[in-house]
Amino acid sequence: MSIITLEHVSKAYPSPGRGGDPVTAVDDVSVEIAEGTITAVIGYSGAGKSTLVRLINALEPVTSGRVVVRGQELSALPERQLRRARRDIGMIFQQFNLMESKTVFRNVEFPLRLAGIPAERRRERVRELLDFVGLADRADNHPDQLSGGQKQRVGIARALATSPSVLLADEATSALDPETTQDVLELLRRVNDELGVTMVVITHEMDVVRALADQVVVMEHGRVVEQGDVYRVLSDPRQPVTRRFMRTLVRPTPPHAEFAELRRLHPGRLLSVRVRDDHDVQGLVERVAGREGVCAELVYGGVNTVQGRGFGYLLHELTGPADAVTRAVDELTADECIEEVA
């Protein structure tokens, strides 16, 4: 069942200069997000990711198209009902956006006050939330007494205060060091697992995609250029932008200077083999090399896993009699997962 549906959604901002063309931040995007899933939205700076999530919680009105969350078309709701609908959509931010002059308790309590919850119930709920995020002993601290990871935990507790069914995260771990990032990702996993909250996370970090995502949506110039199951997108990226992104996680070849050194040691023909768990391409290389009497030596590799399944690249050097190597290269490069590296 889809909980968030975007139908031909566009968002244009007035031109920054006078008389210029409007900026189309989101351009005819249609996406369906199933209940209980985690979707990662990736793409380079300016691709329209933040605008897209601001449309999902109606922080911004759409220019055209429909945004439907839990059966309600947000763009059609009057302000009063919109405020109520927003309580069902929590959001966390890169810079945490906490009120610095207020205690942790007051920060988490804030949305409950807005929702008109009586004081006694608010207190109970805040305790419960701080327990859940592991900050029960920090209720009376101010944000400046907390680490970045703790601040984000407060942000998460606040976002969950009104028991939303959707949580939106805009670069929620980008300001954190790698270890703290892992802790916060683990907490977000629990939010999904234990509370069943559907999540949409914007990120430029492949680790976040790997650790959290069920689906990936790739944006470029305001459009969704690729979307699908996380393993499919990572192991078989179809768009150039997705391939570039994926290469930040596993490199098909070493960086420049190192590659020159590798080339000096291995002057033979090089084949880059894309590893997927549904295609024994490594076995194919061994079979063809064996049959042609050439040697296939593994000279570089980067393999990673997502959802327990391997993906990445292996670089082989083929050496032996020239005509046999040529036959092997020709046969192997006919496979869509194998290409020759110059």
Ligand X SMILES: Nc1ncnc2c1ncn2[C@@H]1O[C@H](COP(=O)(O)OP(=O)(O)OP(=O)(O)O)[C@@H](O)[C@H]1O
* Nearer to ligand X among residue 50 and residue 173 (C-beta): 50
Asked if 50 touches Mg ion (CB under 5 A), the answer is yes
Q: Please say whether the dihedral angle defined by the alpha carbons of residues 192, 179, 227 and 22, taken in this order, is positive or negative.
A: positive
Angle in degrees, CA 39, 40, 42, rounded to 5? 145
Residue type, 65: G
Quick check: 318 and 294 in contact, CB under 8 A? yes
Per CB under 5 A, the segment of 28-36, 48-56, 205-213, 306-314 that binds Mg ion is 48-56
Q: Considering beta carbons, is residue 23 or 77 the nearer one to ligand X?
A: 23
**φ, ψ dihedrals at 222, nearest 5°:** 80, -10
What SS3 state is found at 311? strand
- Piece of the chain touching ligand X by CB under 6 A; list 41-49, 84-92, 96-104, 235-243: 41-49
Residues written for the chain: 342
Q: How far is CA 205 from CA 44, 102, 104, 315, in A?
A: 11, 31, 28, 25
CB of 49 to Mg ion, least distance (A): 5
- Is residue 110 within 8 Å of 174, Cβ to Cβ? no
Q: Which stretch binds ligand X (CB under 6 A): 45-53, 95-103, 137-145, 311-319?
A: 45-53
User: Which entry of Mg ion, ligand X, none binds 45, CB below 5 to 8 A by partner kind?
Assistant: ligand X
Burial of residue 234 (CB within 10 Å: 0-12, 13-18, 19+) is: buried
Q: Which of 10, 27, 31, 43 binds ligand X (CB under 6 A)?
A: 43
Per partner kind, with CB cut-offs from 5 to 8 A, the member of ligand X, Mg ion, none near residue 242 is none
Helices 104-114 and 119-132, axial angle in degrees (round to 10): 130
Residue 205 binds ligand X, judged by CB under 6 A: no
Q: How far apart, in whole angstroms, are the C-alpha atoms of residue 148 and residue 180?
A: 8
Q: Say whether residue 304 binds Mg ion (CB under 5 A).
A: no
User: Are 271 and 340 contacting, i.e. CB atoms less than 8 angstroms apart?
Assistant: yes
At its nearest, how many Å lie between ligand X and the CB of residue 93?
A: 11
The yes or no reply on residue 97 touching ligand X (CB under 6 A) is: no
Site map (CB under 6 A) of ligand X, residues 147-166, x = contact: --------------------
Nearer to Mg ion by Cβ, of 50 and 235: the residue is 50
Answer for which of 50, 107, 181, 304 binds ligand X (CB under 6 A) is 50
Q: For residues 55 and 314, which CB has a smaller minimum distance to ligand X in the complex?
A: 55
Binding site for ligand X (CB under 6 A): 13, 23, 25, 43, 45-51
Binding site for Mg ion (CB under 5 A): 50
